[in-house]
Amino acid sequence: MLRSLLLGVCILLIGLAGLIGYKAYEFLTIPPARPGETKVVFIEPGQSFETTAKMLVTEGALRDADGFRLLARVTGKGGKVKAGEFEVSTGWTPTQLLDYLTTAKGVQHKLAAPEGLTMRQIARLAEEAGLCSAGAFLKAASDPKLLAKYDIPAQSAEGFLFPNTYLFTRKRGDDGTYVVEAMLKEFWKQAEAVWPGDTHPKGKDLLAAVTLASIVEKETGVDAERPRVAGVFANRLARGMLLQTDPTIIYGLGEKFDGNLTRANLEDTANPYNTYVRPGLPPGPICSPGLKSLQAVTAPEVHDLYYFVATGEGEHKFSKTLDEHINAVNKYQRKRGKK
């Protein structure tokens, strides 16, 4: 009797062990779906593994949250799951899923912001990249706390959003702070090549340097010309001459600019960026200057040139006197008219 009872218990235990083993085998080797489909999931910073497991079950990438937690505990990977946006497949086994979440960088979104773009243009690029809305970007770029954190001496980050190609792990929600912050960090990183150590200008002097660099950026696309152009503006400022640069007026016109500068635009005293009627630098940067333009205004070419005009071939003709400049303008305007 006792022997029969023990035998029955043994058979039952063997059966349970076999069932558990089969369930474990099934869990570890059979994915939730075949063929699988891609699911995009977000794991927030500091999110618990339990919450992550339940979310994966909800998304269909996992069948058993408890089994996944046990797998993570056994493998020691429970605390190694990264935060971010991930593309997972319902055709993966739990082991494949856990390996991916603990080793992958997540989905990377590229933001390519070349030199010479305005803050609003960069905001539109951020929206097109799916990082945040343009409005959220502009809100972050005008956040006084964020600007103070990065010692930006202005009411917005215009000019200090360093042009570069960035890779971002997108965050949930509509917040442009992390994008703007990355660009401001890059500005100060690159600034080391312009002002080593703590030699960079502060406050209004820094704003003036970036403002002038932004004008140089818009005036020429030829790196070799940048120090010479910067020297022209330095000479004009030193003599109290008007800068008379078209890009500042265009920036001040904003969305009203239709591609054609008129005499009325040049004579408009209400435009704070009109350097044809207002002396000195405009109120702030008109775009994001690159490293070469920042270096140019820090070490402008020393010369006695005060004017320049586009040749129509990507470069400029520089002149010492107004008469020389007028002759150059007539020459290159005629050349362009014949094309």
One-letter-per-residue 3-state SS of 234-266: HHHHHCCCCCCCHHHHHHHHHHHCCCCCCHHHH
- Looking at 106, 135, 167, the residue that finishes a domain is 106
Considering the domain architecture, whether residues 115 and 100 belong to the same structural domain is answered as no
pTM recorded for the entire structure = 0.84
pLDDT of 30 reads 79
* 86-to-82, 97, 178 alpha-carbon distances in Å: 10, 11, 18
| pLDDT greater than 60 at residue 19 | no
Q: What is the mean pLDDT of residues 159-170?
A: 95
Amino acid 114 reads P
Phi, psi of 111, rounded to the nearest 5 degrees: -120, 110
Q: Please check whether residue 206 is in contact with residue 224, taking contact to mean a CB–CB distance below 8 angstroms.
A: no
How many Cα neighbours within 13 Å face the side chain of 146?
23
Residues 333, 259 share a domain? yes
Number of domains in the chain: 3
Cβ proximity of 118 and 158 under 8 Å: yes
Which CATH number goes with the domain that contains 85? 3.30.1490.480
Residues 126, 99, single domain; the answer is no
For residue 64, being part of any structural domain is answered with yes
Q: With a cut of 80, say whether residue 117 has pLDDT above it.
A: yes
Q: Are residues 55 and 168 in the same domain?
A: no
**For residue 15, pLDDT beyond 80:** no
Query: Is the same domain home to 124 and 136?
Result: yes
- Give domain status of residue 59, yes or no: yes
Instruction: Count Cβ atoms within 10 A of the Cβ of residue 189 and give its class: 0-12 exposed, 13-18 middle, 19 or more buried.
Output: exposed
Q: Residue 273 is part of which domain span?
A: 203-338
Dihedral sign for Cα atoms in the order 82, 87, 90, 93: negative
User: pLDDT tens digit string along 52-65?
Assistant: 989 988 898 888 88
Q: Dihedral of the CA atoms 246, 252, 257, 263 (nearest 10)?
A: -50
Q: What is the pLDDT of residues 20-34, one digit of tens each?
A: 444 555 666 777 877
pLDDT in tens, 69-99: 888 888 888 788 888 888 888 888 888 888 8
**Do 158 and 121 belong to one domain?**
yes
For residues 175 and 153, state if they share a domain: yes
Cα atoms found within 13 Å of the Cα of residue 97, Cβ hemisphere only:
35
Is 196 part of any domain?
Answer: no
Contact by Cβ (8 Å): 206, 198: no
* Contact (Cβ atoms closer than 8 angstroms) between residue 215 and residue 248: yes
- For residue 213, the one-letter residue type is A
Residues 320 and 207 in one domain: yes
> Are residues 141 and 116 located together in one domain of the fold?
yes
Host H or E run for residue 21: helix 2-29
At residue 216, what are phi and psi to the nearest 5 degrees?
-60, -40
SS3 168: strand
> pLDDT (tens digit, 9 = 90+) per residue, 264-323?
999 999 999 999 999 999 999 999 999 999 999 999 999 999 999 998 888 999 999 999
Tell me the C-alpha distance between 39 and 87, whole Å. Answer: 6
